[in-house]
Amino acid sequence: MQAYFAILIISLSFVSAFLYLRLLFQWSGSWRNAQEFVCVESLETRCSPSIIVAFRNEKVNLKSLVSDLKNQTFRELEIIFVDDHSEDGSSGELEQLLIEYNLQAQILKNTGVGKKAALVTGASHAHASNLLFTDADCCLNPAWAKTFAAFLSANKSDVIIGPLKLSGGKTFIERFQILDVLALQLSGGGAALNNKPIMMNGANMLCSKALFLEANLRPEYSSGDDMFLLEYAKQCGASISYLKGANAIVSTSALNGMQPFFKQRIRWASKAKAYVDRDIILSGLIVSFVNGLILLSLVLGVLELKYLAVWSLLFIVKMAGDSFLLNSGKAFFQCSFQFKDWLISQLLYPFYVLIVLFFSLTVKVKWKGRDVS
């Protein structure tokens, strides 16, 4: 019986290692082969999107965002803020900031509850045929909106996925997040550039108004407006593009501390059970399975040394694949990291995946004073 079990573990390890490497090499290859989009002055920008920002309790972040919006080089913009029942005086602060920066924008009250309802409220009031979304805690390049508009003019798309990066790095947990998000961005970007999108972030995306308003964003889940929109767009056969352009990058700060970090990741993972898209599910299963086997082989290796060879194989394969992926795009995101941080992150990552997966299935967390469903 033990011999059969050992054969099973070894066989699963070889298959999962092969699938993992194949997946990451596909993503990194697509990323490397894609040309960077550069918005030049001569390029037409016929498509002027409406910018929509849903916010809740973001008083401390609004000044930076308003300043970035004021500095946008593309002036033909409708800007809509939607207050999702803030309790920290965000709307009052925003009104003062709009006057201070002489920025024309609407401030709406969410007609429902939650970010999804707030986004729909904003979309319903927008006059443009395309909607450009970001979050209140984000920093924008002055050419951000113009780059999206130019890309939309050159590539007629129903959905455009934009790049995102984290800033910070003073503590290890912040550096871990930066590496994690870099890997997620390159995975999502590479998959989209390979015509199999699996990831989109609501902090930086564009969608046609018609598609957004008809999409089923799964209101029974409090988060996931971006991922459920992506799934709906794929089901409808909508045109989906990835904008690989430095000026389109949106940045936000890494979370400060373990508790908010894990709460965020559990919130992200809590909606995974509702995914129906084959590409999203398959890629998630492969990554989770490899990390699960790494942990299992490590535990078995404590009992029987022969399993440590399996752990070593999987760990080396994962390191090689992850290194190849990160190196393919770290220059684009202007992200540098020390080998020590990367190695420690590699050792911790399987435990992190298991913890987030377990608590996403068993625990309800609060986010901005609300239970996450």
Q: Does domain 41-258 have CATH number 1.10.10.10?
A: no
pLDDT given at position 372: 66
In which residue are the tokens 């999206």 written?
A: 148
Question: Where in the chain are all domains bearing CATH 3.90.550.10?
Answer: 41-258
pLDDT tops 70 at residue 159:
yes
DSSP conformational letter for 61: T
What global pTM score does this model have? 0.94
Task: Using pLDDT thresholds of 50, 70 and 90, give the confidence band for residue 89.
Answer: very high
Q: What is the mean pLDDT of residues 134-146?
A: 96
Q: Is 109 left (phi over 0), alpha (psi -120 to 50) or beta?
A: beta
Q: What is the mean pLDDT of residues 316-332?
A: 95
Q: What is the mean pLDDT of residues 287-301?
A: 93
pLDDT given at position 1: 63
Task: Using pLDDT thresholds of 50, 70 and 90, give the confidence band for residue 280.
Answer: very high
Q: Which ranges in the chain belong to alpha helices (H)?
A: 2-33, 62-70, 90-100, 115-125, 144-154, 172-193, 209-214, 225-235, 258-270, 278-303, 306-329, 339-362
C-alpha to C-alpha distance for 373 and 166, rounded to whole angstroms: 26
pLDDT given at position 41: 65
Q: Which residue has the higher pLDDT, 273 or 50?
A: 50
Task: Using pLDDT thresholds of 50, 70 and 90, give the confidence band for residue 371.
Answer: low
Residue closest to 297 by CA, chosen among 66, 14, 21? 14
C-alpha to C-alpha distance for 24 and 46, rounded to whole angstroms: 37
326 contacts 349 by C-beta, under 8 angstroms: no
Task: Using pLDDT thresholds of 50, 70 and 90, give the confidence band for residue 45.
Answer: low
Q: Please state, rounded to an integer, the average pLDDT across all residues of the chain.
A: 92
